[in-house]
Amino acid sequence: MPKVSVIAIDGPAGSGKSALGERLAKRLGYLYFDTGVVYRAVTWVALHRGVDLSDEDAVNLIAENLRIAVLRPTKDDGRQYTVMADDDDVTWQIFLPAVDANVSVVSAHPRVRRALLAQQQEIARQGQVIMVGRDIGTVVAPDADLKIYLQASDEVRAERRFVQAKSRGTETSFAQILADLRRRDKIDSEREAAPLRMADDAVLIVTDDVTVDQEVDMVKEMMRQREQ
């Protein structure tokens, strides 16, 4: 097992966590696990069932009983992974604007986070994994061998999400995405359970004017220094 086996990548929505995590995992031959998809899956199922997202008991019941599986891509349609909720492939549904607008509300419920935490930590214990989220370095994997925190301006993050939405054929506007991002930042940073923050021992990378390949090179150099 390499010295740098578990890498935690945190940061706000649109900062580039998924792009870096996927590219780095491919370069290293590690497992790529975007932990946010488990919260998105619960959010999509709750919306699909017409559940009041402010009802923590109802949402927690879904989180405790939903069978979520994150697999390697099962279709060649641009997906980074396949997400199953019970027997349904919800890989693309969990990135719809309605989920974007509500996932922070769901993930703010302490009981929901507790229900999904054990699953995430079990994956971390297997090693050789890139874990991406908002509380990986502080809560999910506080003993990660390397912690990265990504940041970018609001406008850059919104533009990235706008381009993603257009590529998927989703009707939305830049202004709406920007407003949603800022609202999510506020919820994620102020929530009682595992708020978004940079771990004390994390390395900050500002991604506004940096390519993903440059980010990968930065992280690989950090790994090399730690493994000497």
Model-level pTM? 0.79
- Per the rule left: phi > 0, alpha: psi between -120 and 50, beta: everything else, 9 is beta
Each residue of 141-169: pLDDT tens digit? 999 999 999 999 999 999 999 998 888 88
CA–CA separation, 39 vs 24, rounded Å?
Answer: 23
- Among all chains, which residue has been given the structure tokens 């946010």? 36
Token pair, residue 167, equals 């590529």
CA–CA separation, 218 vs 221, rounded Å?
Answer: 5
Fold of the domain spanning 6-227: Rossmann fold (3.40.50)
Neighbour count for residue 92 (Cβ, 10 Å) = 15
Each residue of 77-109: pLDDT tens digit? 988 888 999 999 999 999 998 998 899 899 889
- Domain borders along the chain are 6-227
Backbone angles phi and psi of 120, in degrees to 5 = -65, -40
